[in-house]
Amino acid sequence: MSDDQLLKSRRNALKCMAFGGAGTLFALSGGVFTPMSLASARGYDESKEGKALGKPLFVQISDTHIGFNKEANPDVAGTLTETIDIVNAMPVLPALIIHTGDITHLSKPAEFDQAQQLFSRLRTTEMHTVPGEHDTTDATVTEYFNRFGKVSNNKGYYSFDHAGVHFIALINVLEFKPGGLGTLGAEQLAWVAADLKGRSASTPIVVFAHMPLWTIYEPWGWGTGDADQLMSQLRRFGSVTVLNGHIHQIVQKVEGNITFHTARSTSYPQPIAGVGSGPGPLKVPADQLAAMLGITSVSVVKHPSALALTDTALA
Amino acid sequence: MNIRGTQMLLTAVGMVALGAMELYTPSVAETSDPTQIVVKDFMFSPTPLTVKAGSTVTWTNKDDEPHTVVSDTGVFKSGGMDTNESFSYKFDKPGTYHFTCSIHPRMVGTVIVQKAHESHSENKPSHRRSTGGRGDRRRSVRRIGVLRHRRR
């Protein structure tokens, strides 16, 4: 084998390692998921296979929980760094990063500062965030908004357009009802209605919020009480992708043209719904941890109305 | 309350009592501390907790997951309590105070504050069971060593 060939095969092997593991690629076309081979998820490059994946639109990072230091993962900064390395190593960089909340574990200024320092290593410069309930536990609920509130005028919800896709960021962690689920609230729902008014049904929509926007498991609060009022507004669109975090594991559902997806955490896994006393950190053997953490990348496949979701584990 | 919960509660009560000497009365701390609420396994216990007006109630988180304590009427609100962190609030006015964990809203609890001159309802035998099997605690003290050993 020549040096050149060796280098090439080594590069491919490294690429395999970076994207290997438990990821599954789904192409979303007209609202229907089509599983594709994992091998093609390795990279968006100039090969025929790479081109078929389309242009990587964004990568979803979730539940980084900076500040967590318990047995389930004593080094959350380390696993976030690995995550960032995976993103930075993508042959074609995604245009955006979307963080679906729980940036920090306890809303402490030092935790936010450390998270922002780590994020600054991302080669993708544009990052959009929504807060998780762990980001809003400070008594004044100001630490998150002081850093990330400008885009939403400290409301927590906002929208923007990129590559023909309309993105809607929502907050569902501020209005908890005792014993209940997350809440969007009348004001935010009215804002969504105004935001979507007059928009063509062929516009691909990506909605993201921290807590699941459909009820996955009510006893643990894995859902949003008034999400139905949001979905009724989204149903007329041909391609809607709803992304959430919060539950630290992948759960998917397709309902008409709406695809729901929750992302893995980069910090620690959580139990499957209803297993154990509550949704706390799940302790797993160290060699299994990386396979239970990861990111989701979403790309535009061929036509802007088709989005593909790829989940990548850290190992 | 199950044995494990009782064990955790006792451990927590001991630790908190040591950290707050003004609340520590050796004669009762062995079996109970009527102003402590332990947050463990995504539950507040005991609940309801009955105290006299003027009492300071302390919540201590014994989970690996952070919790908060937020009054339904906005009377008190803790920040995020990490493992082994505590929050205290002094109840001056008699009344019934419901609270929740804002991170896990299914977690709910109640503090009942009685007028200072009334006797503690906790001292009445009829109330013992509803505050978490207080009568069982002394018996379970002996079991703790065995249980801990088994868990390791």
Q: From the candidates A133, A144, A181, A218, which should be mutated to test the interface with B, based on the most B CB atoms within 10 A?
A: A133
Question: Cis peptide leading into B46, omega within 30 of 0?
Answer: yes
**pLDDT mean across residues, chain A:** 82
> For residue range A233-262, what is the model confidence (pLDDT) as tens digits?
999 999 899 999 999 998 889 898 898 999
DSSP string for residues in B30-41: TT--TTEEEEET
Determine the Cα–Cα distance for residues A146 and A109; give it in Å rounded to an integer: 10
Residue with tokens 């630490």: A143
Determine the Cα–Cα distance for residues B29 and B10; give it in Å rounded to an integer: 9
Question: What pLDDT shows up at residue A305?
Answer: 55
Determine the Cα–Cα distance for residues A121 and A105; give it in Å rounded to an integer: 20
The whole-angstrom distance between B103's CA and the closest CA on chain A is 6
Determine the Cα–Cα distance for residues A123 and A70; give it in Å rounded to an integer: 29
Cβ contact A13:A20 at 8 Å = no
Band (A291; pLDDT cuts 50, 70, 90): confident
Q: Which domains does chain B have, with CATH numbers?
A: 35-130 (2.60.40.420)
> For residue range B26-77, what is the model confidence (pLDDT) as tens digits?
443 333 578 999 999 999 999 999 999 999 999 999 999 999 999 999 999 9
Helices marked H in A169-284 — which ranges?
Answer: 186-196, 227-234
**Looking at the DSSP assignment, which residues form a beta bridge with residue B103?**
none
In single-letter form, the type of residue at position A92 comes to V
Go through chain B and tell me how many residues it has: 152
Question: What pLDDT shows up at residue B32?
Answer: 54
Average pLDDT of the segment spanning A100-118: 97
Determine the Cα–Cα distance for residues B148 and A184; give it in Å rounded to an integer: 44
CB of B82 less than 8 A from some CB of A? yes
pLDDT at B146 over 60: no
Q: Of B101 and A176, which is predicted with more confidence?
A: B101
Find, among B143, B132, B144, the residue nearest to B43 by Cα.
B132
Question: Residue B72's closest chain A neighbor by CA?
Answer: A178
φ, ψ dihedrals at A152, nearest 5°: -110, 10
Q: Let me know the angle formed at the C-alpha of A145 by A192 and B82, rounded to the nearest 5 degrees.
A: 115
Band (A295; pLDDT cuts 50, 70, 90): confident
Determine the Cα–Cα distance for residues A126 and A57; give it in Å rounded to an integer: 12
Band (B99; pLDDT cuts 50, 70, 90): very high
Band (A68; pLDDT cuts 50, 70, 90): very high
What are the structure tokens assigned to B87, written together? 């929050």
Determine the Cα–Cα distance for residues A233 and A193; give it in Å rounded to an integer: 7
Sign of the C-alpha dihedral, residues A44, A50, A56, A59? negative
Q: Is the ipTM above a cut-off of 0.85?
A: no
Q: Which domains does chain A have, with CATH numbers?
A: 3-37+49-313 (3.60.21.10)
CB of B100 less than 8 A from some CB of A? yes
B65, B82, B108 ranked by CB distance to A280: nearest: B65
Question: What pLDDT shows up at residue A293?
Answer: 87
Question: What pLDDT shows up at residue B104?
Answer: 87
| Contacts with A105 from chain B: Cβ below 8 Å | 66, 80, 82
Determine the Cα–Cα distance for residues A241 and A204; give it in Å rounded to an integer: 8
**pLDDT mean across residues, chain B:** 71
Find, among A175, A162, A232, A163, the residue nearest to A209 by Cα.
A175
Inspect the interface and report whether the beta carbons of B79 and A138 lie closer than 8 Å.
yes
A72, A105, A176 ranked by CB distance to B102: nearest: A176
Cβ contact A138:A129 at 8 Å = no
Burial readout A56-80 (b: 16 or more C-beta within 10 A, e: otherwise): bbbbbbbbbbbbbebebbeebbebb
The whole-angstrom distance between A205's CA and the closest CA on chain B is 29
Q: What share of chain B is helix, strand, coil (3-state, %, to 5)?
A: 35, 30, 40
The whole-angstrom distance between A303's CA and the closest CA on chain B is 40
The whole-angstrom distance between A278's CA and the closest CA on chain B is 6
pLDDT at A141 over 80: yes
Cβ contact B50:B112 at 8 Å = yes
Helices marked H in chain B — which ranges?
Answer: 3-19, 26-29, 134-151
Go through chain A and tell me how many residues it has: 315
| Contacts with B83 from chain A: Cβ below 8 Å | 70
How far from each other are the two terminal CA atoms of chain B, in whole angstroms? Answer: 22
Question: What pLDDT shows up at residue A231?
Answer: 97
A133, A220, A281 ranked by CB distance to B64: nearest: A281
